Structure 1
């Protein structure tokens, strides 16, 4: 029997988290401020969600819109605060002004994670050289996932890059799991699964007609779960 695909859902609060788990999510990404594409939530939110659900969760480490690290010392402090609140998995990713990975910032934050597992997020889709990002990060402790649409424009545009990178799985810099997210649609799923991709990330698609102004819908998540299981 094949292992089921991973479904990660963005949660903003306890209500979202409970609905996502009820709908069949395997993991949560915890953020706040989706108007800024997701920033670090409060420690109280993290501890509240950790107490409300028993599926894994990854906490965003990001202080401002964009992909610059900003105050790295503050980021390190936030990472330590999130760990104290019960977080054991994280999401992060920083670029410099040239669109290259800000390795110093990433390394300093990762050092504060003490070996915790983490995802390098869609900063890779905005980098000037995707391959260079992967090569620069190769070997960093805890890095097990890249969240990517294959393109800054979303999955529809990024499909060729996603398939090409999936085909390189196992090469240096390509050992990590590809978590497909960013404009992901149900119609993309069979094609991606047939290419060997097995992890999917949804945000707005997990909600009702209100979009980000409404909560996660267990029914919407359930539809994604069924589609992934059928594929």
Structure 2
């Protein structure tokens, strides 16, 4: 069964995602920055209102994914804080200055998050060596990589996404995301055969997911 994750920037979108049939919510803040760590109390309330899985973004700021020691400590503290809620996983990613995967720091955060699974987010799309980076992310212990195939969107990255799914060989989930819509999810499935798909389901330039788009995304997923 193929599954759908909706990136939500507010509690309203999280409820829409659930009502539309999504399998999981990725909760974050600050849509203009591409997602940052959500407010703790908002997350707490969102968790109470959701029956489906809830993953939480851990990202101290927008911009690049190279973090100072103080920011790294903040990420650690946020993971420990959010683990007190009944969430289901985390989403984060740290790069070195040369755009390689920071294996040591990512591994520390994955270890800290246990037993909850972790997704390496679209920081992956900035790496220089995509297939070496795949191996490094697997080494760190992540369960999923959210990626547009290192391209601006999934349609352009479809060839790389297909290769990533093949090379991952069920060792890690490759989750296409970035410009994923109900209009192209069928093509992505046919070409990549990925098991999980990621979209904001926002169609009107707002910060609220469209329930019609969530339903269309879900209905276009094949068994």
Would you say same fold, with TM above 0.5?
yes
- Paired residues of 1:120 and 1:146 also in contact (CA < 8 A): yes
**Alpha-carbon separation, structure 2, partners of 1:208 and 1:220:** 7
SS where residue 168 of structure 1 aligns?
Answer: helix
Does the alignment pair 1:188 with 2:189?
Answer: no
**Alpha-carbon separation, structure 2, partners of 1:80 and 1:175:** 26
Structure-to-structure mapping, 1:32-181, within 5 angstroms? 32-65=29-62, 66-70=64-68, 71-141=71-141, 143-170=142-169, 175-181=171-177
Residue 221 of structure 1 is matched in structure 2 by 214
C-alpha RMSD of matched pairs (Å): 1.7
Structure 1 stretches of 4+ with a deviation exceeding 4 A read none
Greater Cα offset, 33-42 or 174-183: 174-183
Q: Which string of whole-angstrom CA distances, capped at 9 and with x for unpartnered residues, describes residues 142-169 of structure 1?
A: x211101102311122111011122223
**TM-aligned CA distance change 1:126 to 1:120, over 3 Å:** same
Give 5+ residue unaligned stretches, structure 1.
none
**Alpha-carbon separation, structure 2, partners of 1:207 and 1:112:** 32
**Alpha-carbon separation, structure 2, partners of 1:156 and 1:211:** 22
**Alpha-carbon separation, structure 2, partners of 1:152 and 1:191:** 16
Residue 23 of structure 1 is matched in structure 2 by 20
Give 1:34 deviation, angstroms.
Answer: 1.1
The size of the alignment, in residue pairs, is 219
The alignment's TM-score, normalised by the length of structure 1, stands at: 0.88
- Paired residues of 1:62 and 1:69 also in contact (CA < 8 A): no
Residue 211 of structure 1 is matched in structure 2 by 206
Greater Cα offset, 110-119 or 120-129: 110-119
